[in-house]
Structure 1
Amino acid sequence: MIAMLRLLIPLLLVLSVAYVAVSIYSRQRRRAKLIAHWRRKGLTGDREAFVRRGLAQYDRSFRRRLILAIYAVPLGLIAIIVYYTNFT
């Protein structure tokens, strides 16, 4: 059990750093795309409100939730490997 904790604690720290980095990068890319769309279409009005609405939609999107796979995939693989080595 101690060996498992010695593996999981650093892994969770690394995965958390990766999650934050990918999340910030993805949000900035979405912001840049919204601004580019604003310029390309030649829209008028409040650009910041347009970007805020677009980012609010992005926050509720499936793509945003898919970033959680950064946690799910490695931890799931470790669980499968532990199960396989102990019970088969």
Structure 2
Amino acid sequence: MAALARLMVVGFIVLSVIYVCLSLYSRSVRKGKLRAEWNEGPKEQSLDEFLDEGLAEYDKSLRRKLILSVYVIPVILVSIVIYLTNFA
């Protein structure tokens, strides 16, 4: 039982690091695309306002929610492997 608890704690820490890195990378890519869009288009508002609106829209997007699958998919796979190893 201690081995399972250790696996869960270490797994959660590793998945959290992966989630944070992936989230920061995705956000920086979106920010870069917003900057490019602002540079090409008419300058009706400041860059900071444009980025704030675009990133607020990004926070509500499906892509942001799909990044949470970093937690779900490995847990399902490990559960399947444990089940097949012990009960199949």
Q: Given the two structures, how large is their TM-score scaled by the length of structure 1?
A: 0.90
TM-superposed deviation, 1:25: 1.1
Are 1:78 and 2:78 an aligned pair?
Answer: yes
Percent identity over the alignment is 44
Aligned match of 1:17: 17
- Deviation digits for residues 41-67 of structure 1 (CA, Å, limit 9, x no counterpart): 233322211110110010010000110
**More off after superposition, 28-37 vs 77-86:** 77-86
Aligned match of 1:42: 42
Instruction: Output the amino acid matched with 2:31.
Output: R
- Deviation digits for residues 1-44 of structure 1 (CA, Å, limit 9, x no counterpart): 21111212111111101111111111111111101001112333
CA RMSD of the aligned region, Å?
A: 1.2
Q: Any gaps of 5 or more consecutive residues in structure 1?
A: none
Q: Any gaps of 5 or more consecutive residues in structure 2?
A: none
In the alignment of these two chains, the number of paired residues is: 88
SS of the residue corresponding to residue 45 of structure 2 reads coil
